[in-house]
Amino acid sequence: MAKETIKQALVKEYVRCSQDPIYFMRKYCYIQHPMKGKIKFDLFPFQEEALTELTTERFNIILKSRQMGISTLTAGLTVWSMVFNEDYNVLVIAIKQDTAKNLITKIRVMHEMLPSWLRVGSEEDNRLSLRLKNGSQVKAVSSSPDAARSEALSLLVIDEAAFIDKIDEIWTSAQQTLATGGRAVLLSTPNGTGNLFHKTWQEAERGDGRFNPIKLHWTEHPERDQEWRDLQTELLGEKMAAQECDCDFITSGNSVVSGELLTWYQDNMCKEPIEKRGRDDEMWIWDYPDYTKSYMVVADVARGDASDYSAFHVIEIETMTQVAEFKSQIPTKDFGNMLVNISVEYNEALLVVENANIGWAALQPAIDRGYRNLYYTYKHEGVHDAATQLSKGYDLKNRENMTPGFTTSSRTRPLLISKLDIYFREKACIVRSKRLIDELFVFIWNGHKAEAQRGYNDDLTMAFSIAMYVRDNALRLHNEGLAMNKSAINSITNTRGAYTGNDGVQGVNPWKQKIGNDEEDLTWLI
């Protein structure tokens, strides 16, 4: 009778654990503390709230501070789900294999420390997977585009999602594995703006999309205070501390153009085009040609792989206003013909094409069609004489010393990036395109090199950088030329000789010069 009573009590307790994951974890889950050894997993209130949402909402995104115990909470959720469900299939995707292995270790230890009447027993147990005798299993893998290509999943956990390369491809692949009703959790500290994690979080906060947002700021932790936060700044630096502690997308990351500034452009300048052209609306137009204005068409040509795009901007030169834009995957020859056509449409605009690699194929139609306002670079040292070309073009007799297009080199690329930064910081350009701003959000410093985050493109960004460089260089050289002309003219009026300037007599027009017995008007010089 006593045994029967104990059995009934265990059954009752088992049912309660199966229905209440918070109770289950508080009473029966243990963790291995690095200093204290085996200790009970005593959830904080914010962890309880998060766990409730994780078990009631199908899709969750967690924006978190560091060291909030969320990986441990995820391990507990996994153990609870596997113990009380048959054939429950969990996949964890982590940024590194060591991270994936550590999570499996937490799950294994937590399961092994359960009392015998709760523990299911394992059928397969290795560093990166655990299979229980009831058919439930968990696998952990490092991130790759194929990471989520597997059998149907009950639960997908993507750890540090903001830092995973090609996360867009991973999530696309995961859609099919979750189609039978599986759940998903994306969790991470922020890593700049514009990536999938940031976009998904923004949508979730607005109430759009499928994801439920859970934000865990460091102040939620009852054992953290301002002294702890100040220490993080000392240890990590302000920028990294903002990323790791404050859940701050804008301050986090390492974008070339600051997130705050890009947000300002997005809110104050970006607008819908007045016309979209092309089969897939690839070309956006904000202003039609004004025949009183001068334009540049500046292009970046796709390298030829499946992930790259050809892009161009149409820029009104005087005000540096973006009036049109194109981005698409298109055959290079067709792209070259399009460039000539749009340049002709915009008042025979200066056509600037980046000439590296396959760029030559895009230049060829302009050369074959004899387009008169094609940008050239001097062959020696990659010299760009933009001022001369913007003002009057190049004399054909000099073109044997030049090469068609804009040459991006180790010398010019840092200058392009510098112009990009300066123009945006000084708000000296008018940007209409949300596509361009989206690219700039993920255009980051990778060490000392500015480039798109892995899995993203910078085609529009580089084309716009070239446009700013060409325009700025042109204006500088033009102003230098004016100064030289002024200096030369002044020297004429101050030097005795054939042109004496009427001997410097005050009140006499200095532009009326005596030449023998005649007088010549020299105002044509200015």
Kindly state whether residue 6 falls inside one of the protein's structural domains. no
224 shares its domain with 338 = no
226 shares its domain with 92 = yes
Alpha-carbon distances, residue 33 vs 30, 41, 65, 109, 141 (angstroms): 9, 10, 20, 11, 24
Residue 473 in contact with residue 384, Cβ under 8 Å? yes
CATH of residue 306's domain is 3.30.420.240
384 shares its domain with 281 = yes
358 shares its domain with 504 = no
214 shares its domain with 121 = yes
Pairing of strands 402-404, 376-378: antiparallel
406 shares its domain with 301 = yes
235 shares its domain with 296 = no
Query: Which residue in 132, 119, 23 sits closest to 88, CA to CA?
Result: 132
**Residue range of the domain that includes 433:** 259-476
65 shares its domain with 213 = yes
Kindly state whether residue 21 falls inside one of the protein's structural domains. no
Side chain identity at residue 149, one-letter code: R
Nearest-angstrom CA–CA distance, 426 and 438: 19
Q: What is the CA radius of gyration of the chain?
A: 33
237 shares its domain with 193 = yes
- Can you read off the two tokens belonging to residue 391? 């003002």
222 shares its domain with 264 = no
Total number of domains constituting the chain: 3
175 shares its domain with 294 = no
Kindly state whether residue 37 falls inside one of the protein's structural domains. no
Tokens 């969320």 locate to 70
CATH of residue 92's domain is 3.40.50.300
| Cross-strand bridge partners of residue 31 | 39
User: What pLDDT sits at residue 493?
Assistant: 42
Kindly state whether residue 173 falls inside one of the protein's structural domains. yes
Kindly state whether residue 279 falls inside one of the protein's structural domains. yes
Alpha-carbon distances, residue 411 vs 25, 406, 408 (angstroms): 59, 13, 8
User: What pLDDT sits at residue 450?
Assistant: 86
Kindly state whether residue 294 falls inside one of the protein's structural domains. yes
| Digit-coded pLDDT (tens) for 508-521 | 555 565 555 666 56
User: What pLDDT sits at residue 348?
Assistant: 93
Residue 460 in contact with residue 325, Cβ under 8 Å? yes
Tokens 């994306």 locate to 186
pLDDT in tens, the chain (526 residues): 455 688 888 889 999 999 999 999 999 998 877 777 788 888 999 999 999 999 999 999 999 998 898 989 999 999 999 999 999 999 998 888 888 888 888 999 899 999 999 999 888 888 888 999 999 999 988 777 666 666 788 999 999 888 887 788 888 888 888 888 899 999 998 887 778 898 899 899 888 888 999 999 999 999 899 999 899 888 888 777 877 888 877 666 677 888 878 889 989 999 999 999 988 899 999 999 999 999 999 999 987 666 678 999 999 998 999 999 999 999 989 999 999 999 999 999 999 998 877 778 889 999 999 998 998 887 654 555 555 555 545 444 555 667 888 988 878 888 899 889 899 989 999 999 999 998 898 888 877 788 887 777 899 999 999 999 988 776 554 444 444 444 444 444 444 333 334 444 445 555 565 555 666 565 554 4
272 shares its domain with 360 = yes
* DSSP label of 170: H
Report the predicted TM-score, pTM, of the whole model to 2 decimal places.
0.62
User: What pLDDT sits at residue 157?
Assistant: 92
Kindly state whether residue 412 falls inside one of the protein's structural domains. yes
Cβ neighbors of 2 (< 8 A, separation 6 or more) are none
Pairing of strands 518-521, 129-132: unpaired
User: What pLDDT sits at residue 284?
Assistant: 97
Kindly state whether residue 252 falls inside one of the protein's structural domains. no
Choose one of 245, 278, 305: the last residue of a domain.
Answer: 245
